[in-house]
């Protein structure tokens, strides 16, 4: 009972705080209803743990619950993270190096005080067990008493709970650790227990209809954790895009992501499925846009500097994962700066085997919380910065400077890619273009929220409003850049990427939806559509 009280009042403080804000924000509310909330939660937790209050199970379950809850408590209190299904998926698909970036002395001390020490107290307490039947009767009385209390609360305040619950559905995500356990069970079931869906080919005969006689290369740069509002291309006051400022980049100011985490956004972005109907299992079991482009006869190469890999998108095309070997001056053994993508890009540009080539460069970009590890010291443009992972303990100025440094460094890398494309265009007479899109955005402490991954339904704009940039060699492209510029303020989303890529690569396919392509009418020569 003491442990359940601790879980309720301390480790579920973020839930109680959010719920209190929701209730007191009403025009009128009942104070007794507000006070009933922790009692209601306490009784539910008592019932849950009574199911496991058997000898040999009682202590291990309570100890595990407290330590897990303390860890989630730290993440929610420090970063505003909600551990729903999407966050569980993101956690399962995070590699060791990325997971360790969240570890800090502050985090260790917090978990020690709120998790390990209370768990040690539970372990040291002596428990005298009654005979089995008496234990069962005792637990039955406890559960029955809890049910009665819940029933009384519900009979008096049912309409209040129903109204607050309907209008604040995301609140359930803050209940620790039970929402996380629910998400874990669902993720394991969906990922490991369901049989694989049969593979669906959306188009068996896509074709390339390019009329330009030059070889064509499009480099798609897949950004990581970049939010649109910090790009000077979009009007941001600080010069975060000084390197590409004079390159004629077209910035699409109203682009929105499919999800708030890489595990959802990347496969969704390349899938024919849209945000509204996206399902990970279904997306993995059908052609995505890089598959269609490759099946049309183009050469597709995926080069990744993101340890999370391609989330299944590049499974059926040629791919290369950059190894963070510490012998490389651009790497530290765990991560590499994104300049590491330039060497394999140049090698590919020097050895083109097809008339049409798509090269996807997957950046590590602005991945937090260790933003300071995403740019070299000589690219430390904005100071003071925040060279630590417990970013909630940095000043707002230092945190934003550090993040802006990652955007400026990304811009530097984009400049180098454009330079390589320009050089290749002259030397090999190529038609070249670059498309940059970020997977999702990031929160930097606004309203006490950090990082990303909040449920999409209540995620802030900073996590879903992402940058998209287009550059093309004006001397050789068959894209009408003036026409495309006119679409730069049109609302777009990752749902448009499938069709944009088919368009830019001049791939004609029955999977293409012209109404979903903002560039459909922006060509200097006519494109044949199936």
Which of 192, 224, 241 lies at the terminal end of a domain, its last residue?
A: 192
Q: Is residue 51 part of a domain?
A: yes
Q: Is residue 63 within 8 Å of residue 122, measured between CB atoms?
A: yes
pLDDT digits (tens, 9 = 90+) for 424-461: 988 888 999 999 999 999 999 998 889 998 889 889 99
Residue by residue, DSSP assigns 334-377 as S-B-GGGGHHHHHHHHTS--SSEEEEEEE--TT-SS-GGGGS-G
Q: Is residue 300 within 8 Å of residue 317, measured between CB atoms?
A: yes
Q: Is residue 199 part of a domain?
A: no
Task: Look at residue 105 and tell me whether its pLDDT is greater than 90.
Answer: no
CA distance 188 to 89: 9
CA distance 83 to 81: 6
**Which pLDDT belongs to residue 60?**
94
Q: Is residue 115 within 8 Å of residue 402, measured between CB atoms?
A: no
Q: Is residue 203 part of a domain?
A: no
Q: Is residue 7 within 8 Å of residue 118, measured between CB atoms?
A: no
Q: Is residue 314 within 8 Å of residue 360, measured between CB atoms?
A: yes
Task: Look at residue 235 and tell me whether its pLDDT is greater than 80.
Answer: yes
Overall average pLDDT of the 381-395 stretch: 92
Overall average pLDDT of the 450-479 stretch: 91
Q: Where are the alpha helices (DSSP H) in 80-116?
A: 85-92, 96-100, 105-111
pTM score: 0.84
CA distance 70 to 177: 9
440 CB contacts (<8 Å, ≥6 apart)? 225, 257, 259, 260, 261, 262, 265, 452, 463, 464, 466
Nearest to 259 by CA among 495, 517, 496, 499: 495
Number of domains in the chain: 2
Q: Is residue 524 part of a domain?
A: no
CA distance 300 to 468: 21
Nearest to 358 by CA among 303, 316, 426, 300: 300
284: buried, middle or exposed (CB in 10 Å: 19+, 13-18, 0-12)?
middle
Q: 370 with 428, same domain? A: yes
**Which pLDDT belongs to residue 16?**
94
**Which pLDDT belongs to residue 505?**
95
**Host H or E run for residue 166:** helix 132-167
Overall average pLDDT of the 244-264 stretch: 96
pLDDT digits (tens, 9 = 90+) for 162-194: 888 877 877 888 899 988 888 888 888 877 888
**Host H or E run for residue 386:** none
Q: 132 with 47, same domain? A: yes
CATH number of the domain where residue 434 is located: 3.40.720.10
Q: 154 with 246, same domain? A: no
Q: 130 with 253, same domain? A: no
Q: Is residue 528 part of a domain?
A: no
Distances in Å between the Cα of 489 and the Cα atoms of 57, 411, 467, 468, 518 are: 59, 21, 12, 11, 11
**Host H or E run for residue 46:** helix 31-50
Q: Is residue 502 within 8 Å of residue 203, measured between CB atoms?
A: no
**Which pLDDT belongs to residue 530?**
46
Nearest to 76 by CA among 458, 384, 453: 453
Q: Which of 164-168, 245-249, 263-267 has the lowest mean pLDDT?
A: 164-168
Residue by residue, DSSP assigns 167-192 as HTGGGGGGSTTHHHHHHHHHHHIIII
Contacts of range 519-522, beta carbons closer than 8 Å, 24 or more positions apart:
519/479, 519/483, 519/484, 519/487, 521/483, 522/479, 522/480, 522/481, 522/483, 522/484, 522/487
Nearest to 357 by CA among 420, 432, 272, 414: 432
Q: Is residue 407 part of a domain?
A: yes
CA distance 227 to 464: 8
Assign 308 a pLDDT band (cuts: 50, 70, 90).
low
**Which pLDDT belongs to residue 515?**
96
Q: 228 with 126, same domain? A: no
Q: Is residue 201 part of a domain?
A: no
Nearest to 255 by CA among 441, 427, 398, 409: 441
Average pLDDT, the chain: 91
Residue by residue, DSSP assigns 419-476 as HHHHHHHHHHTEEEEEEEEES---EESGGG-EES---GGG--HHHHEEEEEEEE-TTT
CA distance 92 to 79: 19
Q: 245 with 157, same domain? A: no
**Which pLDDT belongs to residue 522?**
92
Domain that residue 276 falls in: 214-516
Which of 128, 159, 192 lies at the terminal end of a domain, its last residue?
A: 192
CA distance 247 to 215: 22
Assign 528 a pLDDT band (cuts: 50, 70, 90).
very low
CA distance 396 to 417: 32
Q: 164 with 123, same domain? A: yes
Q: 256 with 391, same domain? A: yes
CA distance 237 to 226: 16
Overall average pLDDT of the 195-221 stretch: 90
Assign 529 a pLDDT band (cuts: 50, 70, 90).
very low
What is the CA 323 to chain-centroid distance, rounded? 22
CA distance 373 to 359: 25
Q: 491 with 391, same domain? A: yes
Overall average pLDDT of the 222-236 stretch: 97
pLDDT digits (tens, 9 = 90+) for 53-89: 888 899 999 999 999 999 999 988 888 888 877 788 8
Most confident of 102-106, 277-281, 497-501: 497-501
CA distance 411 to 16: 42
Pairing of β 430-438 and β 318-321: unpaired
Q: 311 with 384, same domain? A: yes
Cα-Cα-Cα-Cα dihedral sign, residues 402, 403, 404, 409:
positive
Assign 146 a pLDDT band (cuts: 50, 70, 90).
very high
Q: 336 with 236, same domain? A: yes
Q: 256 with 292, same domain? A: yes
Q: Is residue 358 part of a domain?
A: yes
CA distance 302 to 53: 52
What is the CA 180 to chain-centroid distance, rounded? 17
Percentage of the chain modeled with pLDDT above 70: 98
Most confident of 20-34, 382-396, 512-526: 382-396
Query: Is omega for the bond preceding 369 within 30 degrees of 0, making it cis?
Result: yes
**Which pLDDT belongs to residue 457?**
86
């Amino acid at each position: 009972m003491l442990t359940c009280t601790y879980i309720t009042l301390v480790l579920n403080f973020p839930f109680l705080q959010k719920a209190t804000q929701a209730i007191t924000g009403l025009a009128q509310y009942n104070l007794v209803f507000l006070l009933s909330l922790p009692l209601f939660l306490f009784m539910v937790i008592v019932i849950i743990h009574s199911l496991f209050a058997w000898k040999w199970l009682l202590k291990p379950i309570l100890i595990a619950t407290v330590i897990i809850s303390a860890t989630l408590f730290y993440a929610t209190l420090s970063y505003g993270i909600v551990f729903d299904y999407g966050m569980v998926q993101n956690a399962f698909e995070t590699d060791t190096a990325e997971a360790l970036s969240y570890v800090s002395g502050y985090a260790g001390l917090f978990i020690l005080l709120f998790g390990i020490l209370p768990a040690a107290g539970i372990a040291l307490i002596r428990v005298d067990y009654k005979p089995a039947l008496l234990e069962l009767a005792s637990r039955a009385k406890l559960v029955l008493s809890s049910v009665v209390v819940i029933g009384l609360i519900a009979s008096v305040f049912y309409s209040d709970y129903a109204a607050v619950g309907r209008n604040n559905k995301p609140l359930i995500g803050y209940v620790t650790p039970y929402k996380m356990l629910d998400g874990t069970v669902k993720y394991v079931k969906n990922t490991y227990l369901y049989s694989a869906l049969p593979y669906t080919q959306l188009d068996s005969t896509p074709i390339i209809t390019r009329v330009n006689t030059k070889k064509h290369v499009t480099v798609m740069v897949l950004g990581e954790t970049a939010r649109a509002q910090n790009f000077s291309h979009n009007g941001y006051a600080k010069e975060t895009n000084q390197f590409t400022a004079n390159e004629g980049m077209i910035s699409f100011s109203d682009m929105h992501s499919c999800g708030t985490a890489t595990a959802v956004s990347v496969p969704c972005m390349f899938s024919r499925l849209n945000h509204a109907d996206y399902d990970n299992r279904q997306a993995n079991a059908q052609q995505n846009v890089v598959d269609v482009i490759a099946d049309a006869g183009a050469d597709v190469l995926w080069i990744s500097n993101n340890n999370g890999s391609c989330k299944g998108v590049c499974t059926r095309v040629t791919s290369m994962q950059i190894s963070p070997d510490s012998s490389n001056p651009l790497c530290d053994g765990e991560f590499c700066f994104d300049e590491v993508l330039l060497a394999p890009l140049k090698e590919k540009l020097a050895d083109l085997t097809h008339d049409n080539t798509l090269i996807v460069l997957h950046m590590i970009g602005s991945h937090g919380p260790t933003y300071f590890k995403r740019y070299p010291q000589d690219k430390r443009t904005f100071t003071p910065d925040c060279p630590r992972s417990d970013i909630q303990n940095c000043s707002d100025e230092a945190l934003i400077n550090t993040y802006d440094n990652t955007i400026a460094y990304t811009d530097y890398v984009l400049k180098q890619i454009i330079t390589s494309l320009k050089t290749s265009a002259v030397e090999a007479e190529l038609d070249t273009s670059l498309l940059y899109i970020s997977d999702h955005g990031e929160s930097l402490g606004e309203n006490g929220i950090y990082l990303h991954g909040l449920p999409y339904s209540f995620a802030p704009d900073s996590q879903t409003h992402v940058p998209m940039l287009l550059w093309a060699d004006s001397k050789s492209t068959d894209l009408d850049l003036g026409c495309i510029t006119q679409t730069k303020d049109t609302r777009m989303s990752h749902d448009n990427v499938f069709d944009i890529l088919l368009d830019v690569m001049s791939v004609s396919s029955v999977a293409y939806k012209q109404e979903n392509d903002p560039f459909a009418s922006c060509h200097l020569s006519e494109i044949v559509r199936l």
